[in-house]
Amino acid sequence: MLGDMIIGMLYLLKRNGYYESFTGVCKTRFAEPEGNMFGLDYTCASCRDGRKQVSEILDGRCPLCNLTFPTLPLPLRKVLWIDWSSRFKIIPNAFPYFENHVNFITSTHESQDIIREPNVISNLFSFYKSIGKNEWMLFFNHLIGNSLNHFHVHATTQINMPLVQMIKRKKFSQPKRVRVFKFTNCFRGILVTKPTIDIINKIIRRVRPSPIEFINFGWFGDHFIIFIRRLTEDPLGNTLGSSELMGYILSCDMQKLSKISEACRYTVVSYTRMREIIEGIV
């Protein structure tokens, strides 16, 4: 199974020193959850130091297109990857903040906006089935969030996100395949139960390219959670990605966590707009 191949690759990377720190006081570049506040899991992410150094070395070049750039810090030059097809590959996240953190990326530079192409969703379903969908979780940030514009989907075995736990505990009054939900300001969006390629493509087709609406999602097993967003006047709200909207924050600044909890209120489009998007689907 592909999932086992990925775990094997990550084991070799760790054994060969790929994750060794090359700056700061940490021995490795891993981040781990450290607490929960305002219903959000958080990590100080202090061991992810080195990203600025890599950015300076690449000098504007796309890091996902330059995995073997010759002057990267030595640990990063030990990179391995798995070719999944002629169009996609699976690479380790260089500064992981999830368990077994990898990225499903295009082999050449293609925009995150190819998520609007029906065949991309089909490829994503095939990839998720291949790795073992009940053992992995996927995240996607489109063109909003703290994200690179080279197509990539995060995959991790860290599946106990706060929003996933809420959905599993929730007893909805009516069984619906597609619904709009709101638990808190942060935890609201469109929930597709037992998603199909057809259903997800129908929803994406209704997300406007102009004025631009953005698609973020988190996907675990039978739970496909979609966040439809527009740019806001608040820069903080615009930088929140799908993992943040699922409840995992890369900060332990309590003041910032409080601001993030508030920013969630206006970073997702209105309930009315989400209802409009899903109207008549299944």
Q: What is the pLDDT of residues 241-260, one digit of tens each?
A: 999 999 999 999 999 889 88
Is residue 10 a contact partner of residue 92, using CB atoms and an 8 Å limit?
A: yes
pLDDT in tens, 177-222: 999 999 988 899 999 999 999 999 999 999 999 889 999 999 999 9
Output the pLDDT for position 66.
97
146 has pLDDT over 80 = no
Q: Please name which of 198, 193, 197, 159 lies closest in space to residue 3, comparing C-alpha atoms.
A: 159
Beta bridge partners of 217: 140, 226
Output the pLDDT for position 148.
85
Output the pLDDT for position 151.
97
Residues 3 and 157: their CA atoms lie apart, in Å, by: 10
170 has pLDDT over 90 = no
pLDDT in tens, 85-139: 999 999 999 999 999 999 999 999 999 999 999 899 999 999 999 999 889 999 9
Residues, the chain, total? 282
Domain range 29-48+82-278, its CATH number among 3.90.550.10, 3.40.50.80, 3.30.428.70, 3.50.50.60 = 3.30.428.70
Confidence of residue 265 (pLDDT cuts 50, 70, 90): confident
Output the pLDDT for position 157.
97
Residues 254 and 76: their CA atoms lie apart, in Å, by: 32
Tell the burial category of 229 from Cβ atoms under 10 Å away from its Cβ (0-12, 13-18, 19+).
Answer: buried
234 has pLDDT over 90 = no
Tokens 């997702």 correspond to what residue? 268
Name the amino acid, one letter, at 171: K
Output the pLDDT for position 211.
83
Is residue 102 a contact partner of residue 10, using CB atoms and an 8 Å limit?
A: yes
Work out the mean pLDDT of the chain and round it to a whole number. 93
Among 71-85, 164-178, 263-277, the range scoring the smallest mean pLDDT is 164-178
pTM, whole model, 2 decimals?
0.95
Q: What percent of the chain has pLDDT over 70?
A: 100
Tokens of 81: 């990857």
43 has pLDDT over 80 = yes
